[in-house]
Structure 1
Amino acid sequence: MIDFLRLSTLFLVTALAEIVGCYLPWLVLKQGRPVWLLLPAAVALALFAWLLTLHPTAAGRTYAAYGGAYICVALLWLRFVDGVALSRFDAIGAVLALAGMAVIALQPSQ
């Protein structure tokens, strides 16, 4: 269980780095925010790439499991940063995504 919590935390931080790295350029391009925001965006994306290397399994399996965590973090971003209320379908999707992440991440060693 501790390993799953550690992995989930790593996925959470990885997803936040990716979202920040993509959100800041979106602000620059879509909302006319200052161009200097591209610098922290680049740092966030570099952090995202580095964090992916810390995951203990093969890259493809890491990306597959990470997708579930990313979905949940993106929905939280939608709610708390974009201010959009989540629907019950968002919640159901998040639960299914986390279940998929758990199945992939917690499979027995081969």
Structure 2
Amino acid sequence: MIEVASSLGIFFFAALLEIGGGYLVWKWLRVDRGIIFGVMGGLILFSYGIIMTFQPAEFGKVYATYGGIFVVSSIIWGYWIDKKRPDRFEIIGSVIVLIGVAIMFYWPR
């Protein structure tokens, strides 16, 4: 159980880095913020790539699983940062994605 919690922590921390870094680049290019936003976003995105190497599985499995974590994290980000409340279809889709993630990465083999 500790391995699962640790792995989930890495996934959600990586999602925070990727979404946060991407958000800063978005602000730089789409909302005309300063270049510092782009540089910081790029550095944060780079650190996301490093964090993902801490997962205990091979690349394809890690990134496929991370895709599901990213979906859920993006909806949470949208709610907290952009103040966009998810509709029922986004919530249902997120639950389905998380079930898929649990089966792909955590189901005993």
| TM tier relative to shorter chain | over 0.9
Residue equivalent to 2:86: 86
Q: Which moved more, 1:54-63 or 1:36-45?
A: 36-45
Amino acid across the alignment from 1:31: V
Asked if residue 34 in structure 1 is aligned to residue 31 in structure 2, the reply is no
Structure 2: stretches of 5+ with no match in the other structure: none
Residue 45, structure 1, aligned to residue 45, structure 2: yes
CA–CA distance in 2 between the matches of 1:28 and 1:104?
36
Look up the SS of the partner of 1:102 in the other structure.
Answer: helix
RMSD, matched Cα: 1.1
The count of corresponding residues between Structure 1 and Structure 2 is 109
Q: Report the alpha carbon displacement of residue 40 of structure 1 after superposing the two structures with TM.
A: 1.4
The alignment status of 1:103 with 2:103, answered yes or no, reads yes
TM-score (norm 2): 0.94
Aligned position for 1:22: 22
In 2, Cα distance between the equivalents of 1:5 and 1:49?
Answer: 20
Deviation at 1:7, TM superposition (A): 1.1
1:62 aligns to 2:67 (yes or no): no
Instruction: Give the secondary structure class of the aligned counterpart of 1:86.
Output: coil
Output the amino acid matched with 1:17. Answer: L
Deviant stretches of 4+, over 3 Å: none
Q: Residues of 2 paired with 1:38 and 1:62: CA distance?
A: 27
Between the aligned partners of 1:86 and 1:108, the Cα distance in structure 2 is 32
Structure 1: segments with no counterpart, 5+ residues: none
Cα distance in 2 for partners of 1:66, 1:31 equals 28
TM-score under structure 1 normalisation? 0.93
What residue identity is the alignment partner of 1:20? G
